[in-house]
Amino acid sequence: MSLTIVMYHYVRDPALSRYPAVKARTLETFRGQLDHIAANYEVVTAAQVAAATRGEDDLPDNACWLTFDDGYLDHYQNVFPLLEARGWEGAFFAPARPILEGRVLDVNKIHFILASEADAMKIVEELRRQIEKARELGAELRPWDDYVAEYMTQCHLDTPEVLFIKLMLQKGLPEAVRNSVCEELFARFVSADEAAFASELYLSVDQARTMIGSGMVFGGHGYAHEWLGSLDAEAQARDIDRSLEFLRLLGVPAEDWSICYPYGSYNQTTVDLVRERGCALGLTTREGVADLGRDGALELPRVDTIFLPTA
């Protein structure tokens, strides 16, 4: 039994925003993809998918499940009305910390740092200054040239400078230094008022509840959007439990909930922990059409929206 699970993030018109360089599905493209889905697939619900993974029901041959990551305000303003108009359910996976604490995820900070400065080398130079500052304060760091040799490489999607910035702020630096440097770069290039920026980027608790009340579903995406697979069992359990508290706040039932692993990062410990807590479905970033007879219910692949045509 196959299932096409489509993965979306930003759905906005970048050219009309303050950050036109942020990569997103435009509203025109999104509407076109919905038309394509309507013509070629049957949109199914999370409950249908969960039942199919347990062998309790069959999905249609052309089943499609629509998923949206990161809890953006885009999803409330742009996605929700279009899905509601078609009578379709969407599954939304929102990390808790940005919504409850007004904090911008590091992954989003990186997006907007890069979108705020056209000359990536200016960001690289500021990154170097911040690293030297951290070194002077006692951080144990490798020589700058070592980082450049490892992370400033060719990529078909990004320039070497952009890829270097991404990799350094995602995994190259030790976590404490990475968080501090990312915060400094965000304040320097984007905004010194993180809470105000977060309120413009992410949806609110009330908006999520409105969506749920109108037929949408919400699942877990971690509390702080961490790389779960890199954490020990205790830290994973703590993050998952805090995410579940957030879902309870939204009114999501305690059983048959779903999770989208942040960054697609998970391991067997993660799978065991969410299964113990009644999770029915787990979404990865592994590319492909899901085969419910082959893929585990807690390790489902998805198809990125960039590979989906429009009508």
Domain extents in the chain: 2-102+202-307, 111-196
DSSP class of residue 298 equals T
| Tens-place pLDDT, residues 8-30 | 999 999 988 899 999 899 999 99
Q: What is the pLDDT of residue 187?
A: 96
Question: Is the separation of the CB atoms in 301 and 9 below 8 Å?
Answer: no
- What is 2-102+202-307's CATH number, 3.40.718.10, 3.20.20.370, 2.40.160.40, 3.40.50.720? 3.20.20.370
Pick from 197, 215, 223, 2: which is nearest to 93 by CA?
A: 223
What pLDDT, in 10s, does the model give residues 285-297?
999 999 998 889 9
164-189 confidence digits (pLDDT tens): 999 999 889 998 899 999 999 999 99
pLDDT band at residue 199 using 50, 70 and 90 as cut-offs: very high
The pLDDT of 134-141, averaged and rounded, is: 93
Mean pLDDT of the chain: 95
Residues 213-229, mean pLDDT to the nearest whole number: 96
On the question of pLDDT at 263 being above 80, the answer is yes
pLDDT at residue 309 above 90? no
pLDDT at position 156 over 80: no
Say what the pLDDT of residue 155 is: 80
H or E segment and range at residue 188: helix 175-189
Helix, strand, or coil (residue 147)? helix
φ and ψ at 264, to 5 degrees? 70, 15
The candidate with the shortest Cα–Cα distance to 165, out of 227, 223, 112, is 112
Is-contact 254 264, C-beta < 8 A?
no
pLDDT(157) > 80: no
Q: What is the pLDDT of residue 158?
A: 87
